Amino acid sequence: MENSKELRTWLDDLGLDHPLVIAGPCSAETEEQVLKIAHQLKDTDVNYFRAGIWKPRTRPGNFEGVGALGLNWLKKVKEETGMKTATEVANANHVELALEADVDLLWIGARSTVSPFIVQEIADALQGTDKVVLVKNPVNPDLSLWLGGIERLYKSDIKRLGVIHRGFSTYEKTKYRNIPEWQLAIELQNKFPDLPLICDPSHISGKRDLIFDVSQTALDLNYDGLMIETHFDPDNAWSDAAQQVTPESLVQIMKDLKIRKETD
């Protein structure tokens, strides 16, 4: 895979004067919840509305997503707010359904990036798509697996690509839910400077009061964007309650962040 400006045309074409923002709930819960959050985010800096409809839970017994039904809600988001939409796909069937429903951006989750079989299946199902596809880092700090994900997509003729840095699992307890290991993302950035690099401070932090600092560090390191989980009632969210922020807090975070310009 060559480093090529082509990889970031989807981002450059947005012509943003601020970092890319992907926001919305961890999980789509109900149609009302999805639409309410979308309307709250509509006139903000948010570029893509995210909502997970197939939720990869580490252990069974938790909410595993509403499934394909949620695709109709994302369609309504687009119709009612004009925002582009984003969701996680974890197998060929998800890809097929998401493409059919015209979701604008698909991402591969951290638990999928660890599996070359799954990534290849997704890459095959996406073959030649002009949708934006982002690859989250694998749960373990393995740069090759992360790069392998991107390379598999690139070989499937998918050229609107990017990566999401969401931190890494550790046995030790730290203040983070997933430790950032910034040097790993920087290594990737050095290798492919034109590959859009997006930080997911929500899954790195695990709690909302760390999100600002993690986001600022990412912007200081010249990241291209942020993915921040947002819910009108974070404490009662059906997944990742401790780390979601309200739409009002998101707007405040974006206002307070010092945005580094290329020329700095």
The span from the CA of 76 to the CA of 38, in Å, is 10
Nearer to Mn ion among residue 195 and residue 211 (C-beta): 211
What residues between 212 and 241 interact with Mn ion by CB under 5 A? Answer: 240
> In the numeric block, which tokens belong to residue 131?
């949708």
| Residues 6+ away with beta carbon under 8 Å from 250 | 23, 41, 44, 46, 228, 230
Residue nearest to Mn ion (CB): 26
Query: What is the nearest approach in angstroms of ligand PEP to the Cβ of residue 12?
Result: 25
Binding-site partner at residue 84 among ligand PEP, Mn ion, none, CB < 5 to 8 Å by type = none
Residue of 20, 21, 23, 26 interacting with Mn ion (CB under 5 A): 26
Length of the chain: 264
Nearer to Mn ion among residue 28 and residue 83 (C-beta): 28
Binding-site partner at residue 195 among Mn ion, ligand PEP, none, CB < 5 to 8 Å by type = none
Burial of 60 (0-12, 13-18, 19+ CB in 10 A): exposed
Radius of gyration (Cα) for the chain, nearest Å?
A: 17
Nearer to ligand PEP among residue 24 and residue 159 (C-beta): 24
Helices (H), 134-176: 143-155
> In the numeric block, which tokens belong to residue 79?
């119709």
Which amino acid type is present at position 197?
A: L
Binding-site partner at residue 23 among ligand PEP, Mn ion, none, CB < 5 to 8 Å by type = none
Residues that bind ligand PEP (CB under 6 A): 26, 52, 56, 109-111, 136, 166, 203
Binding-site partner at residue 166 among Mn ion, ligand PEP, none, CB < 5 to 8 Å by type = ligand PEP
What residues between 87 and 126 interact with Mn ion by CB under 5 A? Answer: none
Nearer to ligand PEP among residue 97 and residue 260 (C-beta): 97
3-state secondary structure of 86: strand
The span from the CA of 108 to the CA of 90, in Å, is 6
Nearer to ligand PEP among residue 70 and residue 194 (C-beta): 70
Residues near Mn ion (CB under 5 A): 26, 240
